[in-house]
Structure 1
Amino acid sequence: MASLLSHPPVLRLIQFPPPPSKGGITVTTEDLECLDNGQFLNDVIIDFYLKYLLLERAPQDVADRSHVFSSFFYKQLTRRDNASEDSTSISAQQRRHQRVKTWTRHVDIFKKDFLFVPVNQEAHWYLVVICFPGLEEPQCEEWRSPASRRGTGGEKSGKAQAEEEASGSEKLNGVTDVPPSPTNTDNQDKLTLTEWKGGLCVCECVPYGCLMFSLSVSVRYLQSEWEVRRGSVREFSSEQMRGSHCKVPLQDNSSDCGLYLLQYVESFLQDPVVHFELPLRLEHWFPRQQVRRKRDEIRDLVLNLYRHQRGDLLGDLVGF
């Protein structure tokens, strides 16, 4: 009896999204244990919360423009060939694509603006963000600087405005960027973004070799997916899709990388980056305290969903 009490059975808590929706993630009491302080987040919690963000938290227009891959996608894409695969005559790039080609059978990723790929390598979570993968030609977007919107209830103090005008910079997405030069001298408030064909950005501090491998694998996957989807050949070269290692808030321990990955996606979905001067400088994207609360927030979310789905409370055996 003592051994049973010290090792309670693993119980299924929730499925999200619940039936009859397809593709639900099942979260168990064992999965919840990785939300304890100092524990490393597992695939289930990562996939559950990313799906919850996309379906419940993100503004609808942003959710419609985004696709979040499962944490198993990159693992399957990059695993070693088995004996039967190694004996085929097709290229390694094609073999990799074949392993995951059914994962996007219900979605055309080239109609999306933002693709999020969670990656786990060497016991470390990080995030690959692919922006505008469907753009084939350079596209310039006009945007109004925050300075042009002053006078509508959000004026800055004279000193703050003078300092900002002296530096020639504006804050976008919590980042100070130097905007491009005006292309229309008749309207100095309108600025044109740098030509942009899309890009691949990595959020998190990772060894440089892992960064380059992740970007090259992602590019080759896009090439193969384009051939299948569009029936034509397209080169995703470095000139067409620039890679960048984002400057983002970083963890201060060895166990919170998964939490930061989730916060990167959550912050992006709530307020998509609009200024793509690379490298993206997002050091002040969100306060560190926001990440420190995330373990408790996700645990509370799972338990609230449990009560909603089951209509009752967890028993004493579970211990919550």
Structure 2
Amino acid sequence: MLPDRPVANVSGSGRGNSVPLQDQDSPNRRSISLELGANVVSNEDLTSLSKGDPEEVILYYPWEGVDGVQLYRQDYRQLEPPGFLDDSVIEIGLKMFQTRLKDINPDLMEQIYIFTPFFYPVLSENSPEVGYSQVRSWTDADKVDIFQKKYLVIPINQSFHWFLAIIYHPEYALSEPKEKLQSSIWTLDPLGFERPEVINLLSFYLKSEAQEKRGVTVSNKSIIGVKGLIPIQPNWYDCGPYILVFVKTFMESPEEFLEMIATDDTDLEKLMRWKSEEFEEIRGFLQVEICRLAKEWSSWQKEKEK
């Protein structure tokens, strides 16, 4: 059975009956392709990369810059089902999509900020106040003002389960309630669960950022929570691949994506728009791309040593 899609008001004053998709004519509705190309590696290379010391680092990506992610051989092995994708694989997958989007549509990529998978665990580990104090400088380190972004993407792992949150128009949280502009916090859980605790905590984060960075007190009426209508994973282990497909589909056309997951009922026609084969192919895609990148990183290291 498909889950319903209620719209939760974070103030607790009731449920809305519509989702504020303000940018119906936005250029972000134009669909692009984030396919990274038909890269080919041999079966021998794929097999070879999975063999050896599980604690060996096989890739650091991107290898130039300060925000690279280490991938161990044991992480790569988890790409074989029913392996559970860990933080490193998820983050590298997200960075691949970001790199590709920056190449083909840099203006759109500039509107999106993707948090590291380590953000939400730190934010939620203690009380909201303590959690915020521990992450308040993270965007400063990245030189990012979240209120100048249009979309914030937050990958979340709780109890060995991946799901996703997307904050749409965070700058609207700074508006006066009378302007009727609202930020929306979308939760996309491939098991179909509602996530009111996530909506409440991310709402607190937005309010705290507004107060700390802009000196603005945010009204509860300026933020709403939305449960997106999305495909449901068929097993217990594919949550990681599912959220990567969600992010990929979102980045290809953000406004169309939000329109597709926004509905007041279980709209089967909208669910049929998903490319179901991508959920099955994403593991193999990551294996090929990581294998290719690992070879390039190894060559880069050798050249650097020379």
TM-score (norm 1): 0.68
SS of the residue 2:255 aligns to: coil
Q: CA deviation at 1:197?
A: 2.1
Q: Does 1:107 align with 2:153?
A: no
| Corresponding position of 2:274 | 286
Question: Offset of 1:77 from its aligned partner?
Answer: 0.6
Quick one: structure 1 residues 45 and 114, their matched pair in 2 at CA, closer, same or farther if it must change by over 3 Å?
A: same
RMSD: 2.4
Q: Residue by residue, what CA displacement relative to the aligned partner does 1:171-213 show, whole Å, maximum 9, x if unpaired?
A: xxxxxxxxxxxxxxxxxxxxxxxx65220111124575x6000
Distance change in 2, residues 1:33/1:225 (3 Å): same
Unmatched segments (≥5 aa) in structure 2: 1-50, 264-269, 301-306
Change over 3 Å in CA distance of 1:7–1:16 after alignment to 2: closer
2:189 counterpart of 1:125: no
Q: 1:74: which partner in 2?
A: 120
Decide which moves more: 273-282 or 250-259: 273-282
In structure 1, stretches of 5+ residues that fail to align are: 1-5, 81-91, 140-194, 313-320
SS of the counterpart of 1:130? strand
Which aligned runs of 4 or more in structure 1 are off by greater than 6 angstroms?
none
Cα distance in 1 between the residues matched to 2:260 and 2:280: 28
Q: Which has the higher helix share?
A: 2
Query: How far 1:255 moved relative to its partner?
Result: 0.8
C-alpha separation in 1, matches of 2:272 and 2:224: 23
Distance 1:101 1:69, change over 3 A: same
Distance between the aligned counterparts of 2:109 and 2:137, measured in 1?
Answer: 21
Percent identity between matched residues is 23
In 2, the alpha carbon distance for the partners of 1:55 and 1:100 equals: 25
1:130 & 1:137 partners in 2: Cα distance?
Answer: 15
Q: Greater Rg, structure 1 or structure 2?
A: 1
Compute the displacement of 1:241 (Å). Answer: 1.9
Q: Per the alignment, do residues 205 and 57 of structure 1 end up closer, same or farther by CA in structure 2, a change over 3 Å counting?
A: same
Residue aligned with 2:233, SS: coil
Matches within 5 A, 1:84-99: 92-99=127-134
Aligned to 1:146: none
* Contact 2:119 2:135 (8 Å CA) reproduced: yes
Aligned position for 1:33:
77
From 183, 200, 217, give the equivalent of 2:185.
200
Q: Offset of 1:22 from its aligned partner?
A: 1.0
Q: Give the conservation status (yes or no) of the 8 Å contact 1:244–1:279.
A: no
How many angstroms apart in 2 are the aligned matches of 1:125 and 1:113? 23
Aligned residues between the structures: 237
Contact 1:69/1:115 (<8 A) preserved: yes
- Does 2:83 correspond to 1:16? no
Distance, in Å, in 2 between the alignment partners of 1:22 and 1:285 is 38
Q: How does 1:1-320 map to 2 (within 5 A)?
A: 8-19=53-64, 21-57=65-101, 59-80=105-126, 92-105=127-140, 106-135=143-172, 136-137=174-175, 196-206=181-191, 208=193, 211-235=195-219, 237=220, 239-274=221-256, 280-281=262-263, 282-311=270-299
Alpha-carbon distance, 1:10 to partner = 2.4
Distance change >3 Å, CA 205–CA 301, structure 1 → 2: closer
TM-score, normalized by length of structure 2? 0.71
